[in-house]
Amino acid sequence: MFKQASWDEPVVFNLGRKGRRGHLPPKTENEVTQTVDDISKLLPTNMRRKNPPMLPELSEVEAVRHFVRLSEMNYGVDSGLYPLGSCTMKYSPKINEQLAALPLLGTLNPYQEESTIQGILEILYKLERWLAEITGIHEVCLHPAAGAHGELLGALIMRAYYKQKGEGEKRTEIIVPDSAHGTNPASAAMAGFNVVVVPSDDEGCVSLGALKAAVSEKTAGLMLTNPNTLGLFEKNIDEIARTIHAAGGLLYYDGANLNPLLCKARPGDMGFDIVHVNIHKTFSTPHGGGGPGAGPVGVSKELTQFLPVPRVTFDGKNYHLNYDRPNSIGKIRGFYGNTAVLLRAYAYILSLGREGLAEVAEVSVLNANYLMKKLKGIKGLELPYNGARPRKHECVISAKPLKTETGVSALNIAKRLLDYGFHSPTIYFPLIVEEAMMIEPTETFEKEELDRFAETMKRICAEAYATPDTVLKAPHNTAIGRLDEVKASHPKTMTLSWRMHQKKIKQKP
């Protein structure tokens, strides 16, 4: 059985001792200090820092030990199956890490003269072309730092498009299905749109009737994830696209679930006008505990004029950064994107090639369906929506029967899975499934690991019937037991920094 390291590791402020140093910055040369005035003259008194920052004081080895111990109390894809649905937690090839860590990239400033950055511009330019080809769309912009950032850009492009058409005032609504990721409505709202939610039908797909009722002359667009968060391909995609386009709206593709379609089918061909791609999902770049990712956005020909500046262009000989784009929405961040992340994707595509990418898609679908088959027979679990239809990259299982019969919920199963050395699936999402467990195994786990996972799920459900307390009180084998998340967010006990912690200690009688 799994047993995670459980160090009693103090917060860094409680380590070290006054005067210890972990790193010495280069010293200023004597000639330099002799040439210029003393710092007390260079910096006016009223702008000088009075008290040094209360940072910890550790030696290098203490710092290393601290962070190594903490890393041992963490779990990544390299540790084992991490089947978070819609997150595509696949293995990140190590060569890509080595390439991204090269000083040849790290030392590049974004404002260098074009003649000194031809290599990196070539990489970005080619990656844009490849992503355009993969998504079947006209042009791609690599700037967005994450999927949600891409969604925001997409929604801003919609705004600019309608403004140019003189329909800016009229097109106020963006439609999202009730199975959509939370970022979709949040991004639409940030871009100033009202959000209209359409329900799913009995099959788990967008209800055509509801969609037709929701569409009007106010409709700016529909944000759609396909395959959706139930892992189902939106079979009526044709009719959906026709409906939106007939109303003068734009179709937005949330690329969180692009993995199963790689080199198998393309959103651009299905009529999507704007597409974002999650580089940190589909193209294997590591999630880093939450980021950095990258969320390039592709658009149809008509919309390219609105993309942020600068665009990377190629004149047949040299690469350039072109800022002369009068209709551009401007910028959504500094510089040109999360280049170190994008470079890894470039290497990933090269390693796999077109056939390899198609195989990625196929195996991810095969794995998801295999796991679904293994799980749906387990007592206490059920498969909502048409069980006969194949899923794509993920499946959603409901623990509702188990909850009713034993009191053990999806949350408890999730916690118990940790005890067996698996990360848990996404739970309670999509919102339309009660006690949902959204499972995406990805292509990078072999049959034996999937079998172990299915076996473990079976064992946990059996435990729920026999010894429910074991599951209800899980996890037992992780670095720490179940945390009080209510206390963490309660205004009275909320502690968001070491400073707040010190303040709270002092306040206590």
Partner 1 sequence: MRELGIKNIDELYADVPEKYRLRKPLKLPEAMSEFEVKRHVESLLSKNRSCDGMPVFLGAGCWPHYVPAVVKEIVQRSELLTAYTPYQPEISQGMLQILFEYQSMICELANMEVSNCSMYDWASALGEAARMATRKTGRNEILIPKIIHPERAATLQAYTKPAGITINRITYDKESGQICLDDLKKKISHKTAAVYIENPSYFGFIESQVDEISNITHGHNSLLVAGVDPTSLGILKPPGDYGADIVIGEAQPLGNAMNFGGPLLGIMACKDDMNLIRQMPGRIIGLTTTQDGSRQGFCMTLQTREQHIRREKATSNICSNEALCAVASAVYMTLLGPEGFRELGETVMYRANYAMRRLSKLRGIRTPVFNSPHFKEFTVNFDKTGLSVKQVSEKLLQRNVHGGKDLSEEFPEFGQTALYCVTEIHSKEEISRLVEALSEILEER
Range 134-153, binding partner 1 (CB under 8 A): 134, 145-149, 151-152
DSSP assigned state of 47: G
Which residue, among 268, 221, 266, 276, has the nearest Cα to 243 in the 3D structure? 221
- Residues 12-31 as x/- pattern, contact with partner 1 by CB under 8 A: xx--x--xxxxxxxxxxx-x
φ, ψ for residue 341, nearest 5 deg: -75, -45
Dihedral-angle region of residue 226 (phi above 0 means left; psi in -120 to 50 means alpha; beta otherwise): beta
* Number of C-beta neighbours around residue 51 at 10 A: 5
DSSP designation for 310: P
Q: Are 228 and 261 in contact (CB under 8 A)?
A: no
**In the range 433-472, which residues lie near partner 1 by CB under 8 A?**
none
Assess 509 for contact with partner 1 (CB under 8 A).
Answer: no
Smallest distance from partner 1 to CB 15, Å: 9
The CA-atom distances, in angstroms, between 142 and each of 9, 344, 414 are 40, 13, 35
- What's the closest the beta carbon of residue 70 comes to partner 1, in angstroms? 4
Q: Candidates 141, 357, 433, 460: give the one binding partner 1 (CB under 8 A).
A: 357
Q: Which of the residues 70 through 109 are near partner 1 (CB under 8 A)?
A: 70-79, 82, 84, 87, 89, 91-92, 95, 97-109
- What is the rounded CA–CA span in Å between residue 240 and residue 246? 10
Question: Under rule CB under 8 A, how many of the chain's residues touch partner 1?
Answer: 200
Instruction: Name the strand (E) or helix (H) holding 219.
Output: strand 219-225
Residue number with CB closer to partner 1 (149 or 311): 149
Task: Work out which of 332, 383, 432, 462 binds partner 1, going by CB under 8 A.
Answer: 332
State how far the alpha carbon of 338 is from the alpha carbons of 100, 296, 440, in Å. 11, 10, 26
Strand (E) or helix (H) holding 295: none
Binds partner 1 by CB under 8 A, chosen from 81, 123, 230, 277: 123
Among 141, 175, 247, 270, the residue binding partner 1 under the rule CB under 8 A is: 270
User: Which residue among 211, 244, 352, 437 contacts partner 1 (CB under 8 A)?
Assistant: 352
User: 277: how many CB neighbours lie within 10 A of its CB?
Assistant: 29
User: Binding of partner 1 at residue 164 (CB under 8 A)?
Assistant: no
Figure out which of the listed residues 169, 324, 485, 506 binds partner 1, where binding follows CB under 8 A: 485
| Total length of the chain | 509
Residue number with CB closer to partner 1 (309 or 401)? 309
Q: How far is CA 503 from the centre of its chain?
A: 35
Instruction: Round to whole Å and give the CA distance between 372 and 385.
Output: 13
**Contacts (CB under 8 A) with partner 1, residues 275-294:** 278, 280, 286-293
Q: Which residue type occupies 303? A: L
Q: How far is the CB of 4 from partner 1 (least distance, A)?
A: 6
Contact 83, 89 (CB under 8 A): yes
CB 403 within 8 A of CB 435: yes
CA torsion sign for 88, 268, 165, 221 is negative
Q: Which is nearer to partner 1, 12 or 401 (CB)?
A: 12
Question: For residue 211, what are its two tokens?
Answer: 């969609």
Rule CB under 8 A: say whether 55 interacts with partner 1.
Answer: yes
Nearer to partner 1, 376 or 379 (CB): 376
Site residues for partner 1, 204-263, by CB under 8 A, read 232-233, 235, 237-238, 263
Q: Which residue of 3, 68, 322, 455 would you call a contact of partner 1, by CB under 8 A?
A: 68
Of 67 and 404, the one with the shorter C-beta distance to partner 1 is: 67
Ranges within 373-432 binding partner 1 (CB under 8 A) = 373-374, 389-390, 392, 414-415, 418, 423-424, 426, 429
- Candidates 67-75, 208-216, 296-304, 376-384; binding stretch for partner 1 (CB under 8 A): 67-75
Residue 172 near partner 1 by CB under 8 A: no
Can you tell me which of 491, 505, 506, 508 binds partner 1, judged by CB under 8 A?
A: 491
Q: Which is nearer to partner 1, 350 or 466 (by Cβ)?
A: 350
Q: Say if residue 426 is exposed, middle or buried (CB neighbours under 10 Å; 0-12, 13-18, 19+).
A: buried
Return the residue of 222, 247, 277, 365 that touches partner 1, per CB under 8 A: 365
Judged by CB under 8 A, the chain residues 30 through 49 that form the site for partner 1 are 31-33, 35-37, 39, 42-44, 46-49
192 counts as binding partner 1 under rule CB under 8 A: yes
Contact pick of 327, 404, 467, 489 for partner 1 (by CB under 8 A):
489
Could you say which of 3, 165, 242, 264 contacts partner 1 (CB under 8 A)? 264
Q: CB of 117: closest distance to partner 1 in angstroms? A: 5
Provide, rounded to whole angstroms, the least separation between the CB of residue 340 and partner 1. Answer: 4
Q: Rounded to the nearest 5°, which phi and psi values hold at 147?
A: -60, -45
- Taking the C-alpha atoms of residue 301 and residue 45, their distance in angstroms, rounded to an integer, is 57
| Residue 505 touches partner 1, criterion: CB under 8 A | no
The CB density around residue 103, as the number of other CB atoms within 10 Å, is 7
Sheet holding 395-398, edge to edge: 395-398, 436-439, 426-427
